[in-house]
A and B are shown apart, each in its own frame.
Chain A
Amino acid sequence: MSAAFTMAGGEVALDGRPILRGVDLSVGEGEFLVVLGANGSGKSTLVRALLGLVPLSGGSVRLYGTPPAKFREWRRIGYVPQRLSIGGGVPATVREVVSSGRIARRGRFRRTGAADRRAVADALDAVGLADRAAYPVHALSGGQQQRVLIARALAGEPDAFVMDEPTAGVDADSQRLLAATLAGLRERGKTVVLVAHELGPLEPLITRAIVLRGGRVAYDGAPPAAVEAGVGAGGHVHAHAHAHAHSGPLNGWPDVIGSRSSAGEAGAAGEA
């Protein structure tokens, strides 16, 4: 299994305050990883650091085996930020924002082609906003804006998606729609790294979960549902490496003795 994202000993400090303290993480192609953790545990910083958007103060990051500064295949990456930035308030339509997701696939001098139009139309369909294409984005609800951001990433037809809390402030209907969209991505073998507060309808899609606590990986392994259902995968609770269940980071997650080798490997770091 080749890795889409790798972080080794990743440390990030903002204004001298440590946010990530030695994170080791390897996300294989086709994995559907959810990053969980309390507010301020470093979730958002972690995924942004994976893309090289936040400079590391220690350790290293690789995108498909290449450090971000030397990475050239950005068309393989679709980044969904936490929220739509309003900027100086110049309006933009849903279609304009979604179309801009093609930017990594387009040469500077290439005109908009049929493939671009189709990708944008498909992306709008996937998030159920085809009938809102001509609307200004700032007139949409929070959940709809979130879907615009996802459509922008979809339009670029990347191999890997990095989503920073796509479900935050999204109503139940939008969450279900989002889950359906993400299920399609999973079926097509796309890699997804997703920050979330709560899982909701996304739960069945997840192949792996990590829990951050105080800038360290406190849990790495099977998602809660799989573990609870006794489906043969096991997690690895780092802070209490060999202790049992109920002292784990998420109450009630049994620390099933892992049978999946990758879980142990991926978690070797952060070990106290």
Chain B
Amino acid sequence: MGIFQYDFMVLGLLAAVFVGLAAPVVGTFIVQRRLALLGDGIGHIALTGVALGFLTGTAPVLTAVVVATLGAVAIEMVRARGRTSGDVALALLFYGGIAGGVLLIYLSPGQSNSTLTSYLFGSISTVAAQDVWVIGGLAAAVLGVVAIFGRELFVLCQDEEVARASGLPVRFLSLLLAVTAALTVVIAMRVVGLLLVSALMVVPVATSQQIMRSFRGTMVLATALGVVATVGGLTSAFYIDVPPGSAIVLIALAGFVLSLAIGRFVRRSRTWESTS
């Protein structure tokens, strides 16, 4: 019972469920597209957005959405241009994002790097009712995008040339995926922090793909694992006083290690089945 007596925990748990649902859904496409680090890149850039919010007296979530989206579009354009210098260009964006954030927060009256810390590592216990509305709305938007465009994104992430030869709007879908990832990063930043955002997009998917055999199944299990990790991490943080963001990610990682063993066992028994 105890945990629900506190409003901040109820709000935090709601936010955790939204994030646990949305991040692995987008993550499944991102991982298949070999863009596992996209979330990290966007996370770094979003920090500048957060600081911009403090500097201009706007809600940091809003400025983070804007800057993260612009950053995601920039990353996608660099990626689409070709691979030769792409990773260096991305690295430049990442460093620029962090450095810009630190500089802007220094310029903001009454703020310091400790303000940023709560965004870098998450501060789910300070989530307000209004934040939960925003997070819930963004999560619904993310899930809506996948519901509508999921089939097309599946083809895009399998093979871009096949997508093109099927007449799919490849550039639009690529940007859509990048922007959806940016929204997810902003949703998740209050829960696990910008530095660990990507973990929620990648780790449950990596875990799930050890065990499942279908794309849809991988996504569904990853979502379940995501919710277990966020809710489990937050709950354990409440009872044993550890930082929630790291508890969430460590639970997700523990799941991955466990899945390696299960996956090996499952595969072995299948091989045995097919040869007998």
Identify the A interface with B (CB < 8 A): 48, 51-53, 71-75, 77, 79, 81, 85, 87-93, 96-97, 100-101, 103-104, 106, 108-109, 134-136, 139, 152, 156, 162
Considering the complex, give the chain A residue whose CB is closest to the CB of B147: A109
Name which residue of chain B comes closest to A134, CB basis.
B213
Contacts of B165 in A (CB 8 A): 51, 53, 74, 77, 79, 162
Given A79-B161, A100-B158, A91 contacting B166 (CB threshold 8 A):
no
Number of cross-chain contacts by CB at 8 Å: 95
Q: 18 A-B Cβ contacts within 8 A?
A: A51-B164, A53-B164, A72-B167, A74-B165, A75-B167, A79-B162, A81-B159, A87-B34, A87-B159, A88-B34, A90-B32, A90-B157, A91-B213, A91-B218, A103-B166, A104-B167, A108-B148, A108-B152
How distant is A157 from chain B, measured CB to nearest CB, in Å? 13
Q: Is B130 an interface residue (CB 8 A)?
A: no
Point out the residue from B148, B149, B155, B161 that lies within 8 Å of A53, measured CB to CB: B161
Contact yes or no, A87 B166, CB < 8 A:
no
Contact of B214 among A77, A91, A106, A152 (CB under 8 A): A91
* Interface positions of B (Cβ within 8 A of A): 28, 30-36, 148-149, 151-152, 154-155, 157-159, 161-162, 164-168, 205, 209, 212-218
A100-B155, A108-B149 given; A74·B214 CB < 8 A: no
Q: Report whether B159 and A104 are in contact in the complex, using a CB–CB cutoff of 8 Å.
A: no
Chain A residues within 8 Å of B158, by CB:
85, 87, 92, 97, 100
Q: How far is the CA of A243 from the CA of B216 in the complex (A)?
A: 59
> Of A51, A75, A79, A109, which contacts B148 at CB under 8 A?
A109
A88:B213 contact, CB within 8 angstroms: no
Q: A51-B165, A100-B155 are in contact. Are A136 and B213 (CB under 8 A)?
A: yes
A223 vs B164: C-alpha distance when bound (angstroms): 31
Chain A residues lying within 8 Å of B218, measured Cβ to Cβ, are 90-91
Give the complex CA separation of A150 and B237 in angstroms: 52
B166 touches A96 (CB 8 A): no
Closest chain A residue, CB of each to CB of B168 = A103
Using A100-B154, A100-B158, A106-B151 as known contacts, list a sample of 5 further A-B pairs with CB atoms less than 8 Å apart, ordered by residue number in A.
A75-B167, A92-B158, A100-B155, A108-B148, A136-B213
Q: Report the separation of the CA atoms of residues A74 and B161 in the bound assembly, to the nearest whole angstrom.
A: 13
Taking A85-B159, A96-B154 as contacts, is the C-beta distance between A90 and B167 under 8 angstroms? no
In the complex, A108→B172 CA distance in Å?
Answer: 14
Looking across the interface, which residue of chain A has its beta carbon closest to that of B29? A90
The answer to whether A90 and B209 have CB atoms under 8 Å apart is yes
State which of B32, B205, B214, B217 has its C-beta within 8 Å of the C-beta of A87. Answer: B32
Contact between chains at A93 and B152 (CB < 8 Å): no
A8 to B241, CA, bound (A): 71
- Nearest B residue (CB) for A136: B213
- Which residues of B lie under 8 Å from residue A92 when comparing CB positions? 154, 158, 214-215
CB within 8 Å for A103 and B213 given contacts A53-B164, A74-B166, A90-B218? no
Expressed in whole angstroms, the Cα–Cα distance for A88 and B154 within the complex equals: 12
Say yes or no: A88-B32 contact (C-beta < 8 A), given A79-B165, A103-B155: yes
Least CB separation from B216: chain A residue: A96
